[in-house]
Amino acid sequence: MNQTPEKALVVLSGGQDSTTCLYWALQTFGHGNVETVTFDYGQRHRVELDCARKIAALAGVRQTVLPIDTFAAIGGNALTDADIAPEDGARDDDALPNTFVPGRNLIFLTFAAALAYTRGARHLVAGVAQTDYSGYPDCRENTLKALEVALRLGMDSRVELHAPLMYLSKAETVSLAQQVGAMDALSWSHTCYNGQVPPCGHCASCELRAKGFAEAGVPDPLIVRCQTPRED
C-alpha cells in the first residue's frame, strides 16, 4: 500500500545556511514535496529577499513571502534599526551581538508552522545551528525542541522541526552543500549583514562565511560570481 509522501516547508532567507537546507530537503523529501517560506521583516539586508526568490526559482520550488513589520517597529537591533550599525567581526565576550533580533526564530517558525498546517506539510526545515554561530539563543537545539512541543500542543499536530546544520561547523556546512548539490544556488545567496553585493567582508556574518569556505578548501561561489567579468 502506497503511503502519501511527506511534505516539507523550508524557511528560506536567501542565505548560505537556508539554501543548503533547501537542497537537503529536496534530497530528503523529494522535489515535488518541498516548498519554501521567506519573511520580509524590514531587515537591513533586504537584498536577501531577491536572493531567496532567485534560489527558489533555481530549485523549482514554490515560495511564499510573508510580511512581518513588528520587528522593525520594535527596533533595538542592527538588522531592523537603521540607526544601529552591525558590529564588525565576532565578539570576544559573552554578550549577544547587536544583530540579535529577539524572538525572530520563534516567530518565524511559528508562522511557518501555521503555513505548513494549511499546506498539509508536517516537516519544517530551518538553517539554525549552535556550532560556529553568532551566539543567538534561538538557534540552539533546546530552543527548537521546546518550540516543537509547543507547536504540537497548540496546533494539535505532529509537526517536526528539522535543523540539519545544528551541530555542523561552517566548513562542514560547505561540505554538505556540495553533497546535496547546492553550490550553484549558493552563488546567488546572501549573508552580509550590511546588505552589500559583493559582500563587505568585515561584518561577523561575512567573516564566518569566509572562514567556513577557507577551512573547507572550497572557493565561495558567491565571491567567484562577483569577481567574474560580465559579458555585455
Check which CATH number belongs to the domain holding 202 and give it.
Answer: 3.40.50.620
Question: Is 36 among the annotated ligand-binding positions?
Answer: no
- Give the orientation angle of helix 16-29 with respect to helix 170-179, to 10 degrees: 40
Q: Please tell me the distance from the alpha carbon of residue 175 to that of residue 182, in angstroms, as a whole number.
A: 10
SS3 sequence of 184-213: HHHCCCCCCCCCCCCCCCCEHHHHHHHHHH
Closest listed residue to residue 59, CA positions, set 96, 24, 94, 90: 24
Question: Is 16 among the annotated ligand-binding positions?
Answer: yes
Q: What is the DSSP letter of 134?
A: -
Closest listed residue to residue 8, CA positions, set 186, 162, 149, 168: 162
Question: Is 139 among the annotated ligand-binding positions?
Answer: no
84 domain-assigned: yes
Question: Is 203 among the annotated ligand-binding positions?
Answer: yes
Question: Is 51 among the annotated ligand-binding positions?
Answer: no
2 domain-assigned: no
The per-residue pLDDT for 8 is: 98
The per-residue pLDDT for 4 is: 62
How many structural domains comprise the chain?
A: 1
The per-residue pLDDT for 133 is: 57
Question: Is 19 among the annotated ligand-binding positions?
Answer: yes
Q: Which domain holds residue 97?
A: 8-227
3 domain-assigned: no
Give every residue of the chain whose pLDDT is below 50, as ranges. 1-2, 232
Contact by Cβ (8 Å): 52, 14? yes
Question: Is 143 among the annotated ligand-binding positions?
Answer: no
Q: What is the pTM of this model?
A: 0.91
44 domain-assigned: yes
Question: Is 226 among the annotated ligand-binding positions?
Answer: no
pLDDT tens, position by position, 198-209: 999 998 889 999
The per-residue pLDDT for 43 is: 82
The per-residue pLDDT for 138 is: 83
